[in-house]
Structure 1
Amino acid sequence: MLENVGLATRDQNVYRTLLLHPRWKIDDIQQHLGLPEEEVRTALDRLASLSLLRPSTDVNSFVTTNPEIELKPVFERMEAELDEQRAKLFRDRAMAAALAADYTALRLQTGAQGLERIEGLDNVRIRLQELARSATSEVRAFMPGGALSPGALEAARPLDENTLARGVRMQTIHLDSVRNDHPTVEYATWFTARGGQTRTVPSLPMRLILCDRSIAVIPVNREASQEGAFVIHLSSVVAALSDLFDLVWDRATPLGDVPVLHCDGPSDRDLTILKMLEDGFTDEGIARKLGISIRTVRRLMADLLRRLNAQSRFQAGAEAVRLGWL
């Protein structure tokens, strides 16, 4: 049915009648369908407004057009609106999942069963190596914080190579900012050649490691990884974090691809920066979250102000709301 584009069943019946009897006039259609003249005229007006009918050189006659062609712009506009709704839903779901993870982490500090608390970075690294070596099906990770050092990448290479060689699927999500870091891109190329998968997004909610959909590792304090980590075995919590990973993964861009630019609207990074401003983040906080320099944040903000024709950040936020970006 075509009610979503403004065509009722009566309108479609009038259209089909004209397809079968192109020389019929209003009186003929009215008698054939048993409709009042006013309803027939209303249907003809509606069909004409969608360019499905055009006036004929023969007075009071009409020429039908191809609905697939004429309705294409209408469907494209509706699809764009649906895509926008899906994007908003994704952001809301991801935010809710991140808040749920924060809530869970705080609640689990009381020492619930199914939880390990690992103190110190060295102990965390050792535990992560143990989990990677024991994984049988998959290891997936959020890697916020920008590019890793060449030393850290080289240290990870033997473990990743061994894990992939055992047939374990590995998926890693970095920040978009690593695309400008040659060692990280080089490592991702090596990683992909051996069966691993790497994608990037503008921002990540936390550092996260998932093993076999049965174990999750998150930091005790997502702003200070040196405080240690929680190793979670609780199935409901791990399932929620797995769902969060799936949401982000589906929206992420493979590292070998170029992120899509939104010529007529905000990019994902634009929306991320605007949302952080709305939440009260400073330039330093935004830089840390996105893994970029403060100078880059200020350049991006200047570009946003220019595109929004705003004189201040407050005005930019108001204009973004007016345009439906937030």
Structure 2
Amino acid sequence: MRSGRIARSEVESAPCLMDFALLHPDPDAPDWLRPVPPSAALAQRLHPLEREIQERRRHSVELTECFKPFMDISAQGPPTTHAITVLEGVPRINAALDLATAECRTEVLTVQPGGGRDEDSLSRSLERGLSVVHRGVRIRTLYQHTARHSQSTLAYAERIADDNVEIRTLEELIERLIVFDRKVAFIPAQDDRQVALELRHPGLVEYLAKVFEQLWTRAAPLLEEVKYEPTPEGISGVQRSIAQLLVEGHVDDSIARRLGMNVRTCRAHVAKLSAALGSSSRAQLGYLIARSGILESDS
């Protein structure tokens, strides 16, 4: 700037000078560049930003005016709490869960069916869980027995371990459920979990909390061995659960989903069950299950 010009070759190591329009071509010498006053270059770059800021301010004023009639109506009475809110899309579901987590003060109840969970889900759960545990909030979580064989689930349990955290497992669970402070609950509305329901009706939330408590009393602590009642013919507890679902008319896919295992594992158990009872077909297997009395020990 002091000399009044600079060779183009010398500017290659400082491209920001051109990017900021601090230099422009010398009209008398194509191999040289002349400096632009910094105040002029700065004004040129600030002008579109200031224009955008003014436009956004205008937009915010318009929005405020549009919402004013609704604000006036809501101010006339107590705020309305929606008993059921439909949450569409994972981002909106996660935002609602994050808000409920931030507002939680006493207790979180969760039901997580389907065996071991993926790393991303466990990572989000760990982040939310630690945030409430550090505030002294109690967490109780129910998994299915198949989660006991998931290293990622066991690692999650170890990382979140605290006096206020309890994890138990059960053979079969209801669909996913999360309850915060017995005031708000979340349940899936579709199998793909892209839509969820946020429930705030006291009666609905209390009912779901009671369902959780009934499951909780039957569940076994994660780090304790699961004890099954002895069954005849050397049939395991898992196979007895499968037998019950077979008698009820469920197919392999449905049984696997309800017991939190993959279909291949389910079919392997069905094969062992058939061998133990001497069955040669699915139709005969149902008859032999009923005749064997293996389901009577559940009563």
Q: TM-score, normalised by structure 1?
A: 0.60
- Select 1:254's aligned residue among 193, 206, 221: 221
Shifted more, 156-165 versus 279-288: the winner is: 279-288
Looking at structure 2, the residues matched to 308 and 292 of structure 1 have their Cα atoms a distance apart, in angstroms, of 22
2:200: which partner in 1?
Answer: 233
- For 1:125, give the aligned amino acid: N
1:96-134 deviation per Cα after TM superposition (whole angstroms, max 9, x unaligned) = xxxxxxxxxxxxxxxx95111111111111111111121
Q: Structure 1: where are the runs of 5+ without partners?
A: 1-111
Shifted more, 251-260 versus 311-320: the winner is: 311-320
- Select 2:244's aligned residue among 267, 275, 284: 275
- Is 1:146–1:175's contact at 8 Å kept on the other side of the alignment? yes
Looking at structure 1, the residues matched to 261 and 130 of structure 2 have their Cα atoms a distance apart, in angstroms, of 29
- For 1:289, give the aligned amino acid: R
- Select 1:124's aligned residue among 77, 83, 93: 93
Q: Structure 2: where are the runs of 5+ without partners?
A: 1-80
2:84: which partner in 1?
Answer: 115
Structure of larger gyration radius: 2
1:9-34 deviation per Cα after TM superposition (whole angstroms, max 9, x unaligned) = xxxxxxxxxxxxxxxxxxxxxxxxxx
- For 2:129, give the aligned amino acid: D
1:306: which partner in 2?
Answer: 275
1:172-207 deviation per Cα after TM superposition (whole angstroms, max 9, x unaligned) = 111111111111111112223453111111221211
Looking at structure 1, the residues matched to 249 and 212 of structure 2 have their Cα atoms a distance apart, in angstroms, of 25
- Structure 1 residue 218: Cα displacement: 0.9
- For 1:325, give the aligned amino acid: L
- Is 2:240–2:294's contact at 8 Å kept on the other side of the alignment? no
Looking at structure 2, the residues matched to 124 and 270 of structure 1 have their Cα atoms a distance apart, in angstroms, of 36
Looking at structure 1, the residues matched to 116 and 82 of structure 2 have their Cα atoms a distance apart, in angstroms, of 35
Looking at structure 2, the residues matched to 205 and 278 of structure 1 have their Cα atoms a distance apart, in angstroms, of 19
Q: TM-score, normalised by structure 2?
A: 0.65
Looking at structure 2, the residues matched to 213 and 321 of structure 1 have their Cα atoms a distance apart, in angstroms, of 41
Greater helix fraction, Structure 1 or Structure 2:
1
- Structure 1 residue 320: Cα displacement: 2.7
2:210: which partner in 1?
Answer: 243
Q: Which aligned pairs between 1:118-157 and structure 2 lie closer than 5 A? A: 118-157=87-126
1:187: which partner in 2?
Answer: 156
Looking at structure 1, the residues matched to 237 and 181 of structure 2 have their Cα atoms a distance apart, in angstroms, of 30
1:260-284 deviation per Cα after TM superposition (whole angstroms, max 9, x unaligned) = 1333356553343223323433222
Looking at structure 1, the residues matched to 120 and 90 of structure 2 have their Cα atoms a distance apart, in angstroms, of 16
Q: Which aligned pairs between 1:36-185 and structure 2 lie closer than 5 A? A: 113-185=82-154
- Structure 1 residue 249: Cα displacement: 0.8
Shifted more, 270-279 versus 142-151: the winner is: 270-279
Return closer, same or farther for 1:181/1:307 CA change in 2, 3 Å cut-off. Answer: same
- Structure 1 residue 146: Cα displacement: 2.5
- For 1:118, give the aligned amino acid: L
- Structure 1 residue 259: Cα displacement: 0.9
Looking at structure 2, the residues matched to 243 and 300 of structure 1 have their Cα atoms a distance apart, in angstroms, of 32
Classify the secondary structure of the residue corresponding to 2:161.
Answer: helix
Q: Which aligned pairs between 1:209-220 and structure 2 lie closer than 5 A? A: 209-220=178-189
Q: CA RMSD in A?
A: 2.1
- Is 1:192–1:198's contact at 8 Å kept on the other side of the alignment? no
- Structure 1 residue 325: Cα displacement: 1.0
- For 2:290, give the aligned amino acid: V
Looking at structure 1, the residues matched to 174 and 278 of structure 2 have their Cα atoms a distance apart, in angstroms, of 30
Sequence identity percentage = 28
- Structure 1 residue 139: Cα displacement: 0.5
- Is 1:164–1:194's contact at 8 Å kept on the other side of the alignment? no
Return closer, same or farther for 1:268/1:213 CA change in 2, 3 Å cut-off. Answer: farther
Looking at structure 1, the residues matched to 240 and 100 of structure 2 have their Cα atoms a distance apart, in angstroms, of 35
1:143-192 deviation per Cα after TM superposition (whole angstroms, max 9, x unaligned) = 01222222332232222111011111101111111111111111112223
1:237-259 deviation per Cα after TM superposition (whole angstroms, max 9, x unaligned) = 21221111111111111110111
Task: Indicate yes or no: 2:295 matched with 1:325.
Answer: yes
- Structure 1 residue 224: Cα displacement: 2.4
